Structure 1
Amino acid sequence: VERVAGVLRGGSPAWLLAVRRLQLDSATAARLVGGIAVVLAGSIALQGVYARAESDQPPAGDVRVLATAFVTSVADVEAFTTALHALPGLAAVPVETRGLVRNSAGEESSVVVGTCGEFAIAGCRDGDVYAMGAGAPGPGETVRFANSPQWTVPADRYHRHTGEGPGLLVTTGALADATNVSLSANATIPAAGPDVVEGVRNVVGWNGVVASLGTGRDGTYALITRVLSVGSVLVLLLAAGSLLIAAWEQLRERRRSLAALMANGVGRGVLARSLLWQLAIPVVVAVFVAVLAGLGLDWLLLTWVVHRPMVVDLATIGVLTATAAAAVLVVTAVTLPVLWRSAGLEQLREE
């Protein structure tokens, strides 16, 4: 601030008054805007690092969606499947229906409900039941679902099938008349955008779960960026408060010289513009130095620490710079009443 003020020459009377004041006492202004420079530099560096990290994330639309609807009958499964396939681009998404049954001895077995086409078993007919593994429920055995309704395994349509068990492959016809059974209809969508995720959530409704994989980290980076921006703006506002108090103190100390200027014909507009320049010049210097320092720190962190190309977050720089400029205007406006009182002719009286 001192070096910049020392090389400034010429200009309007308001400009000359502000520059001369900074040349006489630049230390106070430098101390006040030093906090602004530190906050700006640190914020720009951190925002650049997080902007680089966020840009490395996959596109927001490339998320994997896992949808599970809890149903109580085959009709509910068919309704869920129809509604899901009606969504744009999801007509071919497979739906897998599973459940869990327990026999009289308390042994549990998994149940997979589907059509013969889904099971791809030769000679399959709707209504058949296929047992896998030695511990699967036998023909005619009564089992219970998780919410306790009983179901009797059909004896005349019971078949053995090789596969991992114990478990049952049950065609939809075998459970067509069963109600209040505990089943879950599951669908996996490998890539979906926000509109598709919302559509799936509406189809599942209240009685189910929809998980979007791949959005958690993006939300975390967005939250960190938002917190950094808000925190930087708040600290800048605190620095503006310090600038305001210092401006009031200086006006009180200079009230006799200001009154002398007014008595010699210097207008209020000249004094107001002089106050604006006196506040603006140190802030402009601080912002300029802070932007260069912040970008330099950003470059060092990304290039030498994480070995990634540099990303300049112009939006953050613009917001912080605009906040600093607004702080200067607000402080000037709030200080004007004190300036008019300090520049009054009664300040020349001395007993």
Structure 2
Amino acid sequence: MSMRQGAADLMLGVRFAFTGGREGWTRAVLTAVGVGLGVALLLLTTAVPNALAARHDREAARSDVTFATDPMPKADDTLVIADVDEDFRDDEVRGRALEPEGPRAPLPPGVEKFPAVGEMVVSPALKELLDSGSGALLRERLPDRIVGTIAEEGLIGSAELAYYRGAEGLAEHLTAGRIERIDRFGDPMPAEEQSDPVLLLLVLVVFVVLLMPVAVFIAAAVRFGGERRDRRLAALRLVGSDRRMTRRIAAGEALAGAVLGLVFGVGFFLVGRQLAGNAEVFRISVFPSYLDPSPLLALLVAVAVPAAAVLVTLFALRGVVIEPLGVVRSGRPARRRLWWRLLLPLAGLAMLYPMIGNGRDNGDFNQYLVTGGVVLLLVGVTALLPWVVESVVARLGSGGVAWQLAVRRLQLSSGTAARMVNGIAVAVAGAIALQMLFAGVDDDYTRSTGQDVSRVQMEAQLPSGIPIGPAAEKFRGTKGVEAVYAFSEGYLGDRAHDPEHGSTITVGDCASLREVARLPSCADGDVFAVHGAEWDMGEDMTKLAAPGRKLYVDPSYEGGPEHPETAWTVPRNIRAAKPGPELVGGIDTGGFLLTPKAVPDALRPALDGHAYLKVDASVPDVHDLVRNTTTSIDPLADTVTWAATERTDRFDAIRTGLFVGAACVLALIGASLLVSQLEQLRERKKLLSALVAFGTRRRTLSLSVLWQTAIPIVLGLLLACAVGLTLGTVLLKMTGTPVRVDWTGVLSMTGIGAAVVLTVTLCSLPPLLRLMRPEGLRTE
């Protein structure tokens, strides 16, 4: 056979796909839609690295942290900027207060001119929120007049809530990290993240698990309408074509559908790209311009999809005998062999086995072995499922009419039923393994904050010089606040500059001080020294708290800003106290405890205010009511919501990426399954019409369709659980983590997979009822 003849056969198949009447067009379009959905998701996946890089670059370009120990001197090109981030319900609001100090002060990216005092520029998403009724509480906190919006280059995502407001007097409160003087925007010290082998393993497995179901669906989509296609090929054999020629013609039809699917996929991708600009998934949003696929990866998709379509079609026809008088497929097929299907998962385990026990101390995991091993294990699901379905349905016995119709259909075409379920089985198997891996290593990336959330749920941090007493009263008057423990805090040293010894000073009323120390008795005017506190480990509090000793508040250190000397003399009536229950950060409070009347006026400006609040979570928006009170006390005050634990940012980012990707894959699974189900019903239109014409009840046929879906799904999910648990166990052993099964996660992943299929099945019932009419027997 010449290459010219082979190309001519392929082109003949392409012509059949587009000129074969309504039947050919319908099959081509169904194939194109299925392939197109997969291609669109592949293109979106190839665009993810660029989107993440774009978000990182935008974040770095607007960075306003200098990491300098000494404040920058004032000049005509400097800007004082304050971090005034907010939280509103469960959303973060990025806020900055700006005070330009000269005509050449740098403008933030995306801002055309500085807002004046009492004005602010906001992101489009924040403007929409503030203009709506749901943003009323936040609007109370931001009374400034909106004079403009932040352009795209100043935001990391379309749904980001951000604002810049005008301010004055910021230079009087310069503090590193919170209020700084800068002469340009941008990250001066880009951090190089340390490589964590376990996190890299998570990233690799996440990408493989998310992309495998897509590949499986594309492979299934190119086989839509296979039975009708084979009958057309039998007609070609009747007019003289040989077996090889018919296979090449079939490959040409699949190639046409795949190429059309690429066109559809590009269209779906462009639509999805635009929709992404209006969507936020797990608090992650992007601009459409971020989603630019890598040209090399896009080219790989464009080549791989048509090539896979041809190979899958040729592979599918290897066991089909197409003769001039028909297709030998309805006869009893040869039983599927098990041995070679087991080789795939076993080979995957063999690739992963050398890395068992590596943990994070023996370098990075071999990315090729990890990728290959996980792929082979998940491909093993697609290889084993047809054998499992065939073996089980062959043993199913008698039952009702609906059951018998379903079982007989499955016995005749178990391969088709398995193909429909393959994608969901692969997705569930991968999800179970990832759930086990994330649950297993979660403790390594989660640490306790030491905060006692049973006593305190929120903390308000007030700038120095703000009287804590009136502030505490405002908090007590806030709806939902049950208790307020208010303190003014600072640091005492034995010298005004570079002290060798020192400890903390805490000012509060007796009720508040009893929350952090054991006091013998207390009255306003008392002073205490806490002995034996963990905070003062290594300090001799007896010597430091000697009556008459002079100590200095807020001492300065070498390389840091100079502070005015403010001395305090330890009073003669100082009394001893013992450490009390831990309130902040898991460390008991030590140092000196003073009641308000014992504090000299000279000390008050050097102390920062902290109010620890116990709130009633049942009060609607209680956290935002507290934040509004904090802002009313001082615009530069900050509010923190306490949590018992916190996770590593990168671990959270990978987990969020998994959830976003899983949502997209589930959407693809649902859409592709629906297309596949409709195609199956279309092929059986005449059979269904004949059964109805002979008196079969529609309810019976509907139940038979449900059984045909339910049996393979149950088998597929059981196989997915077995493979997922195996893969999860191996991955946990690779990371050196004790193996434990998160049964809640396993059952939830399995339930989600089953729910997707049941939803698709229910959506296909209306078309099924329309097909079950005797008129469907009419033909031309």
User: TM-score with structure 2 length normalisation?
Assistant: 0.32
Q: Could you tell me how far apart the structure 2 residues matched to 1:223 and 1:89 are?
A: 35
1:72 alignment partner in structure 2? 465
Query: How far, CA to CA, are the matches of 2:741 and 2:655 in structure 1?
Result: 14
Matched, 1:41 2:471: no
Secondary structure at 1:71's aligned position in 2? coil
Pairing 1:89-100 to 2, within 5 Å after superposition = 96-98=489-491
User: What SS does the aligned partner of 1:181 have?
Assistant: helix
**Is residue 32 from structure 1 mapped to residue 429 from structure 2 by the alignment?**
no
Residue 210 of structure 1 and its aligned partner are, at CA, apart by 5.3
Query: What letter is aligned with 2:607?
Result: L
1:294 matches 2:724? yes
1:267 aligned residue:
697
Distance 1:11 1:79 in 2: 76
How far apart are the structure 1 equivalents of 2:393 and 2:410?
6
Partner of 2:608, secondary structure, is strand
C-alpha displacement of 1:99: 8.5
Offset of residue 344 of structure 1:
1.0
Matching residue's letter, 2:708: Q
User: Which residue in 1 is equivalent to 2:740?
Assistant: 311
Deviations 1:243-276 (A, max 9, x none): 2212211222111111111111110011000110
- Distance in 2 between residues matched to 1:70 and 1:214, nearest whole Å: 25
Say whether 1:6 aligns with 2:394.
yes
Shift of 1:338: 1.9
Aligned equivalent of 1:340, options 751, 769, 779? 769
Q: Which amino acid aligns with 1:23?
A: Q
Structure 1: which amino acid aligns with 2:662? S
User: Deviation at 1:316?
Assistant: 2.3
Counterpart AA for 1:262: V
2:712 to 268, 282, 299: 282
Task: Provide the rounded CA distance (Å) in 2 between the counterparts of 1:230 and 1:47.
Answer: 15
After superposition, what is the alpha-carbon deviation per residue over 1:137-182, rounded to whole angstroms, capped at 9, x for unaligned? xxxxxxx996xxx88979xx9xxxxxxxxxxx9x999973449834
Is contact 1:68-1:209 (8 Å) kept? yes
Instruction: Please tell me whether residue 184 in structure 1 is matched to residue 642 in structure 2.
Output: no
Are the counterparts in 2 of residues 236 and 323 from structure 1 also a CA contact under 8 Å?
Answer: no
Q: Distance in 2 between matches of 1:194 and 1:52?
A: 33
Q: Do 1:99 and 1:145's aligned partners in 2 also have CA atoms closer than 8 Å?
A: no
Q: String of CA shifts for 1:261-320, please: whole Å, max 9, x gaps.
A: 111111001100011011111111111111111111111122x31333222222222222
CA distance in 1 between counterparts of 2:484 and 2:470 reads: 18
The 1:34–1:228 alpha-carbon spacing in structure 2 relative to 1, beyond 3 Å, is same
SS in 1 for 2:397: coil
Report the residue type matching 1:18 in the other structure: A
Post-superposition shift, 1:343? 2.1
CA distance 1:77–1:274, shift in 2 (3 Å): same
Q: Is the 8 A contact 2:449 2:645 kept in 1?
A: no
The equivalent of 1:20 in structure 2 is 408
Name the count of aligned residue pairs: 303
Q: CA deviation at 1:205?
A: 4.3
Quote the offset at 1:45 in angstroms.
Answer: 0.6
Q: Secondary structure at the match of 2:738?
A: coil
Deviations 1:187-212 (A, max 9, x none): 9x9xx9999xx9xx98x945357596
Which one-letter code corresponds to 1:308 in the other structure? T
Q: Residues of 2 paired with 1:131 and 1:55: CA distance?
A: 42
Per-residue deviation, 1:322:
2.3
- Higher Rg of the two aligned structures: 1
Q: Where in structure 2 are the equivalents of 1:1-351 lying within 5 Å?
A: 1-55=389-443, 62-63=450-451, 69-72=462-465, 76=468, 96-98=489-491, 117-118=528-529, 120-124=544-548, 129-130=550-551, 176-178=600-602, 181-184=605-608, 205=630, 207=637, 215-217=645-647, 228=658, 231-232=661-662, 234-302=664-732, 304-351=733-780
CA contact (8 A) 1:40 1:232 kept: no
Paired residue secondary structure (2:463): strand
Q: Deviations over 1:215-238 (max 9, x none)?
A: 331787677556645643552342
How has the CA–CA distance of structure 1 residues 122 and 56 changed in structure 2, closer, same or farther, with 3 Å as cutoff? Answer: closer
Aligned-residue RMSD, C-alpha: 5.0
State the AA in 2 paired with 1:289.
L
* CA distance, structure 1, for counterparts of residue 609 and residue 678 of structure 2: 70
Structure 2 unaligned regions, length at least 5: 1-388, 454-458, 476-481, 507-525, 530-540, 572-591, 617-622, 632-636
Deviations 1:72-102, CA, capped at 9 Å, x for gaps: 27x648987xx9xxx98989xx9742489xx
Q: Which runs of 5+ in 1 are unaligned?
A: 101-106, 137-143, 158-168
| TM-aligned CA distance change 1:301 to 1:131, over 3 Å | closer
Shift of 1:25: 1.7
* Contact in 2 for aligned 1:276/1:328 (Cα 8 Å): no
Output the CA distance in 2 between the equivalents of 1:121 and 1:78.
30
Structure 1 CA distance, aligned partners of 2:751 and 2:760? Answer: 14
> Structure 1 residues 131, 38: CA separation in 2 closer, same or farther (over 3 Å shift)?
closer
Residues 10-59 of structure 1, C-alpha deviations (whole Å, 9 max, x = no match): 11111111111122222222222111111111110111111122356778
1:284–1:72 distance in 2 versus 1, CA, 3 Å: same
Query: Does structure 1 retain, via aligned residues, the 8 Å contact 2:429–2:723?
Result: yes
Counterpart CA distance in 2 for 1:258 and 1:183 is 83
Preserved contact between residue 60 and residue 193 of structure 1 (Cα < 8 Å): no
Residue 307 and residue 220 in structure 1: after superposition, are their counterparts in 2 closer, same or farther (change >3 A)?
same
Change (3 A) 1:49 1:89: farther
Moved more, 174-183 or 48-57: 174-183
In the aligned structure 2, how far is the partner of 1:331 from the partner of 1:6? 26
Report if the CA contact (8 A) 1:5-1:23 is conserved: yes
In structure 2, relative to structure 1, the CA distance for the partners of 1:117 and 1:301 (3 Å cut) is same
Deviates more, 1:264-273 or 1:338-347: 338-347
Which structure has more relative contact order (CA 8 Å, sep 6+)? It is 1
